[in-house]
Structure 1
Amino acid sequence: MHLSLSRVHFPVTTLGPGQRLGIWFQGCSLRCPGCISADTWGPGKRQVSLDALLTQIAPWLAQADGITVSGGEPFEQFDALLALLRALRQRSAGDILVYSGHSLEALGPQLEQTQGLIDGLISDPYQEHSEQTLALRGSDNQRLSLLTPLGRARLADYQRPLRAADKALDLMFDEAGSVWMAGIPRRGDLLRLRDLLHSQGHQLQTSAHTSKRR
C-alpha cells in the first residue's frame, strides 16, 4: 500500500488539542479558490509505502496527544487513508482529526467504512468569501463532526468561536530550506507576512497567492 504524501511533522499545536502529529496527503481535485495549501493540489512525486511512513512516525506517535490528517484531500486516496487510520488506531491512544473539503453528505459511504477510526471530521469546501470566526475552520461553512466518544471528549471544546489563543501558526522547516506553516491563518496573514519580509529585503512566495494566477 502506497500513498502520495506531502509532509509529516511533529509537534503541531495549532490543529487540535495538545502536541499533535500532522500528516498531509498530496493531491486535491477540489482546488478551492484562496486555498492556503495550493502546493498540495498536484499529484506530487513522493509515493511512500504505508510501512515506511509508519516506521518514520513511530517515535512521534509515542509522544503525540493526537493526530491531524489533512492535505491535499485525504479522501481522494481512500484505500490508503483507510489503511493508515487502522494502523494509527492500533498504535496510538490519541484522538484522530481529519480534514476534508468534501461535504459531510458526500462522504457518507466512506465514513461508514471508517466508523470508529475518525474521532473528529472537519468537512466541506473552503469558501474564500465566507466569515472566518470558528475554531479550527478556515471558513464558517465548514462543519466539525464529533464521531466517537473520544472525539466528543477531546474536541467538543472546538465547537466555538475563535479565541485569541487560536490565532497562532506553527512553523516547520524541511531539509531543502523551505518553510511551511501549520494552522489556520487569518485572511491576509500570509500576504502581510510577505509584505513585511519584502520591506526588509527578503523574498517570500506563498502558495496562497501564486494559486490565484493558475
Structure 2
Amino acid sequence: MSDVISVARTLDRCGVLGPGIRAVLWVQGCPLRCGGCVAAETLPFEGGTAHGVRELAEWITGVGGIDGLTLSGGEPFSQAAALVRLVDLVREGRPGFSVMAYSGFRLEALRRGDDDQRALLERLDLLVDGPYVAARHASLLWRGSANQRIVALSGRHPELADATDSSAGIEITAEPDGSMSWAGVPPAAGFREHFEERLAARGFSLRHGDDDTAA
C-alpha cells in the first residue's frame, strides 16, 4: 500500500465542500479531461507535491473545529490505496470523522473498480460522482452539473434528506503573504475565467498551485 500521496493543494477549513466545516485535500492527477474543469491545473499526473500519508493524517487530526475531510482533485480514486491508509489513520484518532470524496467516475463504475478503489468507497460517508458536463452546469449543492449526484454511503448525514439543493457558494481567502485562494463549486458557469480576468485587470499576478490563486 502506498505511503505517499501526490497533493495539489490543501485547505484547513472549508464550509462549502461538504457538510459542516471540513479539511480539504486536492490530489494531483486525473485520467479524465472534462471540458470546463474548474481545477484544470490538478489534471496532469506530473506536478503536485509528494506528502507522506502519516504527515497528512497528522495535519488533518491537528486541525481543530472541523467535522470531516473532503477529498477532491484531480481524481481521488487514482490514488485510492494511499487514501485508504490516510482515512484509516485519521479515524484512529477521530472515529466519528466524516469523509466525503469527489470522483469523475460514477458509483457503479467504482464498485467494479480494483480492490483499493472499492476499499476507499467503503470508507466514505458521501460521494459526489460523475464527470462535470459544462452544458448541464447548474447551481447545485456541492456539485457543478446536473448529471452529478450526492450519494450517501453511510447513515452519518441524515440531515441531507432535507437539505436545499442549491449552491453552497464559494469561499475566498486572502493569505498573509498576499496571495489569494478560493474553494467551492461556482454556481455560475465561467466563474473562474471571469474571476481571474478581474484579478488580472487589477494587477494581480496569477499562478496556480498550493500557495497561489487556485480552485
Superposition TM-score tier, normalisation by shorter sequence: 0.7 to 0.9
Aligned twin of 2:212: none
Distance in 2 (CA, whole Å) between partners of 1:56 and 1:40 is 21
Instruction: Give the match for residue 162 of structure 1.
Output: 166
Distance 1:162 1:37, change over 3 A: same
Tell me if 1:102 matches 2:105: yes
Structure 2 residue aligned with 1:191: 193
117-126 or 15-24: bigger deviation: 15-24
CA displacement at 1:174 relative to structure 2: 8.5
Deviation, structure 1 residue 199 = 4.1
Q: CA deviation at 1:201?
A: 4.1
Q: Structure 2 matches for 1:40-79, cutoff 5 A?
A: 40-43=42-45, 44-60=47-63, 62-79=64-81
Query: SS of 1:132's equivalent?
Result: strand
In 2, the alpha carbon distance for the partners of 1:22 and 1:169 equals: 13
Alignment of 1:1-214 (within 5 A): 1-43=3-45, 44-60=47-63, 62-92=64-94, 93-110=96-113, 112-114=118-120, 116-151=122-157, 153-158=158-163, 160-162=164-166, 166-171=168-173, 173=175, 178-185=179-186, 186-204=188-206
Q: Which residue is 2:213 aligned to?
A: none
CA contact (8 A) 1:89 1:117 kept: no
Secondary structure in 1 aligned to 2:30?
coil
**In structure 1, C-alpha distance between the alignment counterparts of 2:156 and 2:174, rounded to whole Å:** 28
The alignment partner of 1:125 has SS state of: coil
Calculate percent identity across the aligned residue pairs: 33
Q: TM-score, normalised by structure 1?
A: 0.82
| SS in structure 2 at match of 1:105 | helix
What TM-score do the two structures reach when normalised by structure 2? 0.82
* Distance verdict in 2 for CA 1:188–1:109, change over 3 Å: same
Q: Give the Å deviation of 1:206.
A: 6.9
Post-superposition shift, 1:52?
1.6
Q: Is the Cα contact below 8 Å between 1:67 and 1:96 reproduced in 2?
A: yes
The alignment of Structure 1 onto Structure 2 pairs a total of residues equal to 201
Deviations 1:135-188 (A, max 9, x none): 11111100111010103x254444x4315xx2332436486x653321011212
Q: Which amino acid aligns with 1:34?
A: G
Q: 1:115 to 1:35 in 2, by over 3 A?
A: closer
Is residue 172–residue 180 contact of structure 2 (8 Å, CA) maintained in 1? no
Q: Over the residues paired in the alignment, what is the CA RMSD in angstroms?
A: 2.5
The answer to whether the 8 Å contact 2:6/2:51 transfers is: yes
- What letter is aligned with 1:105? E
CA contact (8 A) 1:121 1:147 kept: yes
Once the two structures are TM-superposed, the CA of residue 115 in structure 1 deviates from its matched residue by 5.6
Structure 2 CA distance for partners of 1:145 and 1:25, relative to 1, 3 Å: same
Contact 2:83 2:120 in 1 (8 A): no
- Check conservation: 2:28, 2:48, Cα contact below 8 A: no
- 1:48, CA displacement in angstroms? 1.2
Unaligned segments of structure 1, at least 5 residues: 208-214
**Rounded Cα–Cα distance in structure 1 between residues aligned with 2:195 and 2:151:** 32
Tell me the CA shift for residue 6 of structure 1. 1.3
Q: Equivalents in 2 of 1:8, 1:199: separation in Å?
A: 27
What runs of 5+ residues in structure 2 fail to find an aligned partner? 210-215
